[in-house]
Amino acid sequence: MPEIEVRALTRTFGPHVALAGVDLTIEQGEYVTFVGPNGAGKTTLLRILATLIRPTSGTVRIAGMDPARAGPEIRRRIGFLSHRTLLYEDLTAEQNLRFYARLYGIPDVSARIDELLVQVRLTERRHDLVRTFSRGMQQRLAVARALLHRPSILLLDEPYTGLDPHAADALRTLLDELAAEGHTILLTTHDLERVSPRSRAVILHRGRVVFDSAGAPVELPELLQQYRERTAL
């Protein structure tokens, strides 16, 4: 059974068509990067998969379940990172994670927080206020927040926005490690150079899938060529 299956998915906002018939099958443990111009439908697709908005038509199945009927169970499988980190700047890194752990009802909180801070390389800053963190450090802590409840699926909307090259490289390394651990990862980016060589690449344009590397990683020169050709339509 696919981890995520989307068929004939559409979403409109008044007269604007954000998604115009998207078909996708994503297997458990796949790492998929969605690229495309602004307005291509990337964020809308992720928000539908995160059960934050409903499609206008079409079907979505996550682990075989219908989000309209099994929303709470599906949300337990998902870690979502939007443009906002949803971190509290006047709390420390550890306090932020403890706060969200209580919301998730996570047992053995201390051990889980220790594990995540090591994973995102923030152990030495655990007692520092988040407002003292760089944008890249905040983004890594936000990934830890999204991982707290051990989701099998990570949905990351433009996680590289605002990061300098060093911070972006650190985040990509972290995501590669999470993919190697077996997480299903879907992320969006407008920066083709940030597409991991480990990742399947999907180009969206005007609400449609116009290129899909079909489960296989794609080298940057080929992706750039495909992007120029497909988004010029």
Residue type, 95: Q
Residue type, 66: D
Please tell me the distance from the alpha carbon of residue 220 to that of residue 54, in angstroms, as a whole number: 33
Lowest-confidence pick of 26-30, 75-79, 103-107 = 103-107
Q: Binning pLDDT at 50, 70 and 90, where does residue 215 land? A: low
pTM of the complete model:
0.92
Q: Residue 218 pLDDT more than 90?
A: no
Q: Residue 233 pLDDT more than 80?
A: no
Q: Residue 10 pLDDT more than 70?
A: yes
Name residues whose C-beta falls within 8 Å of residue 70's C-beta, 6 or more positions apart in sequence.
none
pLDDT recorded at residue 227: 93
- What would the pLDDT profile of 53-102 be if each residue is shown by its tens digit? 999 999 999 999 999 999 999 999 999 999 889 999 999 999 999 999 99
In CATH terms, is domain 1-77+153-233 a member of 3.50.7.10?
A: no
- What would the pLDDT profile of 124-140 be if each residue is shown by its tens digit? 999 999 999 999 999 99
Please tell me the distance from the alpha carbon of residue 99 to that of residue 101, in angstroms, as a whole number: 5
Q: Residue 232 pLDDT more than 90?
A: no
Name residues whose C-beta falls within 8 Å of residue 47's C-beta, 6 or more positions apart in sequence.
53, 157
Name residues whose C-beta falls within 8 Å of residue 221's C-beta, 6 or more positions apart in sequence.
none
- What would the pLDDT profile of 153-212 be if each residue is shown by its tens digit? 999 999 998 888 988 888 999 999 999 999 999 999 988 988 988 899 999 999 999 999
User: Which among 196, 158, 206 is positioned nearest to 47, based on CA atoms?
Assistant: 158
Q: In angstroms, what CA-CA distances link 79 with 8, 72, 115?
A: 25, 13, 17
Describe the strand order of the beta sheet including 78-81 as a list of residue ranges.
Answer: 78-81, 153-157, 184-189, 31-35, 200-205, 208-217
Residue type, 92: T
DSSP string, 93-159: HHHHHHHHHHHHT-SSHHHHHHHHHHHTT-GGGTTSBGGGS-HHHHHHHHHHHHHTT--SEEEEEST
For residues 112 and 106, the answer to whether their CB atoms sit within 8 Å is yes
Instruction: Compute the C-alpha angle 231/172/118, nearest 5°.
Output: 155
Domain residue extents for the chain:
1-77+153-233, 82-150
